[in-house]
């Protein structure tokens, strides 16, 4: 079993650290956010992620998991050091590597001889070499190990991944990282560093493309009187297509797809390839948000000036508290700019909506609907399917629902007098 340091204890770093401790390793998690570290030291998990609280408690109680803001403490005995740092979108669309490189600088002197630095952040091809230069240590290896976990099912995905990808030129270092995953039943793909780095962007760009395709088909289905449910089911049974990521919705967003698709367009351009397909995917997705907002406008007679719009769901998808690039926020911003009064309910904590003071965050799905002229379902939280449409109809000014996730029982809501509009149906 290895001694591991995790640098960056966010969605990926915390899930990775807690899962590796669960697998038997001793893990020290480092973060610059002192408030976050203080919470974690008490066993309080600052993010919504199924199963993570249990793993953090387990790791703390058996002494295999620790949290610190002190780099020297975290790095003291580490054989393997994971960089799990943000790689946000830079001004030109490229991945901003400043967090990764600052962290590499910070750990350079603290790494023990023979340590392996593992890059888990999503980074452009060539970043491992840049990190190697910053570290400037002949006795330390750099390996790429991109992460494919999905927020909301991060623990499950980490412990039961579809594959583990390890890129590196040094066999011993790659082997050391592969050993960490002993006990995880998944193929381990070892490859060149550049392939591992490229593969992660390819995966996200492909999934985003698939979603954009089905959203575009949904629009076409509406126009021709077809039902996207039937179309998705029918094409998804073809194993060459596959059933996942074929659910029409409000457009994709979140912490990865928007920045990673743009970064890949940028990587391609820098290498002389105009990735027109992916540029089209991004543009079509942006237009899709606008089309959902347009539906709300249409239901309100083409103007939402002073109209109360109720929104269910603000996070970028269900089962996470993450608002980064949330489609819900983008759509509601358009409606707010058009003069709507936004009342929203989301099951995750209220405090993080401070960035959006124009959203009146409500305590329950019902209170968000009081006096509303239209309800927009923007995140597929399961609790919305248990709400009684009769009670909602009584609270609203007009019983109208735009179900951007095709999440509610259409017939049930129509039976209760609702004008119901889904996506692609």
Q: Which residues are catalytic?
A: 256
Residue with Cβ nearer ligand NAD (26 or 320): 320
Block residue for tokens 């400037």: 136
Residue ranges binding ligand NAD (CB under 6 A): 7-13, 30-33, 36, 84-87, 99, 102-103, 106, 121-122, 147, 149, 151, 255-256
| 143 neighbors 174 (Cβ within 8 angstroms) | yes
Rounded to the nearest whole angstrom, what is the least distance from the CB of residue 204 to ligand NAD in the complex?
A: 8
Q: Provide CB contacts within 8 A for 63, sequence distance 6+.
A: none
Rounded to the nearest whole angstrom, what is the least distance from the CB of residue 258 to ligand NAD in the complex?
A: 11
Which residue is closest to ligand NAD by CB?
A: 10
Beta strands in 24-179 (DSSP E): 26-30, 65-68, 80-83, 116-119, 141-144, 164-167
Q: How far apart are CA 402 and CA 295, in angstroms?
A: 7
Beta strands in 176-268 (DSSP E): 188-191
> Which pair of tokens denotes residue 294?
């347009």
List the beta bridge partners of residue 28.
Answer: 5, 66
Rounded to the nearest whole angstrom, what is the least distance from the CB of residue 301 to ligand NAD in the complex?
A: 40
Rounded to the nearest whole angstrom, what is the least distance from the CB of residue 356 to ligand NAD in the complex?
A: 19
Q: Provide CB contacts within 8 A for 365, sequence distance 6+.
A: 312, 345, 383, 384, 387, 392
Dihedral (CA of 326, 331, 333, 334) sign: positive
Rounded to the nearest whole angstrom, what is the least distance from the CB of residue 51 to ligand NAD in the complex?
A: 15
Residue with Cβ nearer ligand NAD (88 or 236): 88
Residue with Cβ nearer ligand NAD (104 or 231): 104
Burial call 30-55: b when 16+ CB within 10 Å, e when fewer: bbbeeebbeebeeeebbbbbebbbeb
Rounded to the nearest whole angstrom, what is the least distance from the CB of residue 79 to ligand NAD in the complex?
A: 19
List the strands of the sheet with 164-167, edge to edge: 65-68, 26-30, 3-7, 80-83, 116-119, 141-144, 164-167, 188-191
Residue with Cβ nearer ligand NAD (11 or 413): 11
Q: How far apart are CA 71 and CA 56, in angstroms?
A: 20
Q: How far apart are CA 7 and CA 115, in angstroms?
A: 14
Reference 335, options 308, 355, 370; nearest CA is 308
Rounded to the nearest whole angstrom, what is the least distance from the CB of residue 82 to ligand NAD in the complex?
A: 10
Residue with Cβ nearer ligand NAD (11 or 353): 11
Residue with Cβ nearer ligand NAD (84 or 340): 84
The phi, psi pair for 33, rounded to 5°, reads -85, 100
Helix (H) or strand (E) holding 58: helix 52-61
Residue with Cβ nearer ligand NAD (36 or 421): 36
Reference 377, options 250, 251, 257, 283; nearest CA is 250
């Amino acid at each position: 079993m290895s001694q591991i340091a995790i640098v960056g204890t966010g969605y990926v770093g915390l899930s990775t650290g807690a899962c590796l401790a669960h697998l038997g390793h001793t893990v020290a998690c480092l973060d610059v956010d002192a408030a976050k570290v203080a919470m974690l030291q008490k066993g309080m998990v600052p993010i919504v992620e199924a199963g993570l609280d249990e793993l953090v408690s387990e790791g703390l109680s058996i002494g295999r998991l620790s949290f610190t803001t002190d780099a020297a403490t975290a790095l003291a005995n580490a054989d393997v050091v994971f960089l799990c740092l943000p790689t946000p979108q830079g001004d030109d669309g490229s991945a901003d590597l400043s967090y990764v490189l600052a962290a590499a600088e910070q750990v350079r002197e603290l790494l023990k001889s023979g340590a392996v630095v593992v890059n888990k952040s999503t980074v452009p091809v060539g970043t491992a070499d840049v990190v190697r230069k910053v570290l400037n240590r002949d006795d330390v290896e750099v390996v790429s190990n991109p992460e494919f976990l999905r927020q909301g099912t991060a623990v499950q995905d980490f412990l039961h991944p579809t594959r583990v990808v390890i890129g590196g030129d040094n066999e011993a270092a790659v082997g050391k990282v592969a050993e960490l995953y002993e006990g995880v039943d998944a193929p381990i793909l070892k490859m060149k560093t550049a392939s591992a780095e490229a593969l992660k962007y390819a995966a996200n760009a492909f999934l985003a493309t698939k979603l954009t395709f089905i959203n575009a088909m949904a629009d076409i289905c509406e126009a021709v009187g077809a039902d996207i449910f039937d179309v998705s089911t029918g094409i998804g049974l073809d194993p060459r297509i596959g059933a996942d990521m074929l659910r029409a919705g409000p457009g994709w967003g979140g912490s990865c797809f928007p920045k990673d698709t743009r970064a890949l367009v940028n990587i391609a351009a820098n290498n002389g390839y105009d990735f027109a397909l992916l540029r089209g995917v991004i543009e079509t997705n942006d237009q899709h948000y606008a089309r959902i907002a347009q539906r709300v406008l249409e239901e309100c007679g083409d103007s939402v000036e002073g109209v109360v719009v109720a929104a269910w769901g603000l996070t970028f998808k269900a089962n996470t508290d993450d608002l980064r690039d949330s489609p819900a926020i983008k759509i509601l911003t358009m409606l707010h700019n058009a003069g709507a009064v936004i009342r929203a309910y989301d099951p995750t904590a209220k405090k993080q909506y401070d960035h959006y003071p124009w959203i009146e965050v409500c305590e329950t799905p019902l209170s968000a609907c009081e006096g509303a002229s239209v309800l927009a379902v923007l995140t597929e939280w399961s609790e919305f399917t248990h709400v009684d449409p009769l009670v909602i109809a009584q609270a609203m000014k007009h019983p109208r629902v735009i179900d951007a996730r095709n999440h509610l029982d259409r017939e049930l809501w129509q039976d209760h007098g609702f004008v119901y509009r889904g996506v692609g149906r």
